[in-house]
Amino acid sequence: MTNFWIRLISGLALVVAALAVILYGGYLLAGVLFVISLIAYHELMRACGLTLGGKATGRLEVLGFVAVAGYYAVMVWSGDGMLLMLTLVLALVALMFIYVFMYPKYHARQIMEAFFCIVYAPVMLSCIYLTRTLNYGSYIVWLIFISSWICDTCAYCVGMLIGKHKMVPRLSPKKSIEGAVGGIAGAVIVGALYGYFVQSRLAGEQKLVVIFALIGGVGAVIAQVGDLAASAIKRNHDIKDYGKLIPGHGGIMDRFDSVIFTAPMIFLLAVLMIRL
C-alpha cells in the first residue's frame, strides 16, 4: 500500500473518530483530549531533549504530566477560568522549585521549554472541550476543524494545481502563497455554508453565515501559522516527524499542529462574536 493510501485511510479514520467523540462530548471528549495532550506533550518534550531518557531532565517531564492531569481535572470538574490560570501558575512555580533547589543541574532554558510544552499542546487543545461546553457549543466546535482541516485540504489542492510563489521557502518549501489563499477561501466558504445550514437551530436574527465565514477565515490564517510553527520547531531540533503514532502522518503534533492553534482562537471568537 502506497503512502498516499495509508495517509488517506488514517486521515479518514481520524475524521470518523473525531465526529464520534465530539458529538458525544462530556467526559469522553475530555478524556480523549487528555490522552492526546499527554502524547503531544511527550512528543514536544522529546523534541526539546527533555524526556525521561535523561536523568537530568526526567523530573521535568514527570512534573509536566502531573500539571497536565491537574489542569484537565480542574477544567472538567470546575471549569473556573481563575482556577485554570492558577493551575498553570502552580506548575510554573513547581518547575522553579526544581530549578532552584537542584541548581545547577537544570538550565533556565530547560525550565522555560518544559513550561512551554505544557501550555503549547495540552492547554491549547483543551479549548476544544471549552468550546464544546459553550451554549450551542456542539455546533460551534466544528468551526475549529473547518478552519484547520478544511484549510489544510484546500491549501494542498490549490497549491498542487496552481502554486508558484513560495510562501516561506526556508521553512516549508512546498507551501505556496496561492495554496495559503486557497486554504483561507475554502475555510470561509465551508464556514459560510455551515452557518447557513445550522442557523435555524441556533439563533433567529443573527447572521451566522457572515459570522461563521469570518471565523472560518480568521481560524484558517491561524491554522497555517500553527502548521508552520510546528515545522519550525522540528527544523530547529533537526527531526522529520514528532512521532510515528498515526500512519502516514507522524505523531500527534504532526497531525494536530493547526488544530492546536485554531482551537483557542475559535473559542475566543465564539465568546466575543456569537451571542447565543
* pTM of the full structure: 0.90
pLDDT reported for residue 199: 82
Whole-angstrom Cα distance, residue 124 to residue 47? 18
Q: How confident is the model at residue 205 (pLDDT cuts 50, 70, 90)?
A: low
Whole-angstrom Cα distance, residue 142 to residue 18? 10
Closest CA to 123 of 260, 219, 243, 272: 260
pLDDT reported for residue 249: 58
For 176, list phi and psi in degrees, rounded to 5: -120, 160
Q: ∠ at Cα 56 (52, 60), nearest 5°?
A: 60
Torsional sign, CA 129, 153, 234, 163: negative
Average pLDDT, the chain: 86
* Side-chain-facing half-sphere of 257: CA atoms under 13 Å: 23
**CA 213 to chain centroid:** 20
User: Over 70: is that where the pLDDT of 26 sits?
Assistant: yes
Residue-wise pLDDT for 179-201, tens only, equals: 999 999 999 999 999 998 888 77
Residue-wise pLDDT for 29-45, tens only, equals: 999 999 999 999 999 99
Q: ∠ at Cα 49 (48, 52), nearest 5°?
A: 125
Q: Which residues of 153-183 are buried (b: 16+ CB within 10 A; e: fewer)?
A: bbbbebbeeebeeebeeeebeebbebbbbbb
